[in-house]
Amino acid sequence: MEVQCHPHRYRSILRGSDSPAIHDNIPLEKLYDQLRAGVFLNNRTVKYSVENESKKNCFMLHARYFIIQRSDEPSCWKWVIEEDPSSDVVVLNVRWLDARCKFEVSILSPKTTYEVVFLIKLTPSASGWEDPVHFGVTLPDGTKQERKVNLKEKPKGEWIEIKAGEVSTSECKEGQMELFMFEHSDHWKSGLVFKGALIRPTN
């Protein structure tokens, strides 16, 4: 694993921090404990952290960071807070499942392969998942990676990691990639808890 001398663009990333205690005057050595534990950005919709040994950037994009169709309608979705201080979202009853967001590739560590992993959970009473759900990533050059996952085969009541794709910062150095999760059939669906998506280095 390639070791960085310091986290890539960490100062500019931390300008979006929700904590007033983090500012440009703090030496990097004093910031490391906070960076390893994770720092919330953009009104607690993103959590930025740094790997201990490699110093590579990691990001957790929480559900509120995504544009989720009809997520403001209480009859379709319900926002809940579990053990993590960020909010999860539960689908109560929908036919059209669609969650998307865009993320800037240039703040990922250079010369690194990242995987994009969605975090979901099915409640014990989840139903309507007869058709596969699409998970994927569209890279800045338009290349699309997509997986179809049958959630009926997944265990209920526990968090599930679903890999949607990868991005190499040796090849993609700037621009926005889009993360997406959707299922557009006419079946009524319920019982899906969506926490968000991890963008984490694999090398």
Q: Which residue has the higher pLDDT, 58 or 32?
A: 58
Mean pLDDT of 85-100: 88
Spatial contact of 56 and 112, defined as CB atoms under 8 Å apart: yes
pLDDT grade for 6, boundaries at 50, 70 and 90? confident
For residue 90, list its beta bridge partners.
78, 193
Give the domains, in start order, of the chain with CATH numbers.
Answer: 63-201 (2.60.120)
**HSE-up of residue 81 (Cα within 13 Å, Cβ side):** 4
Interval 154-188: pLDDT, tens: 999 999 999 999 999 999 889 999 999 999 998 89
Tell whether the model's pLDDT for residue 82 goes beyond 70: no
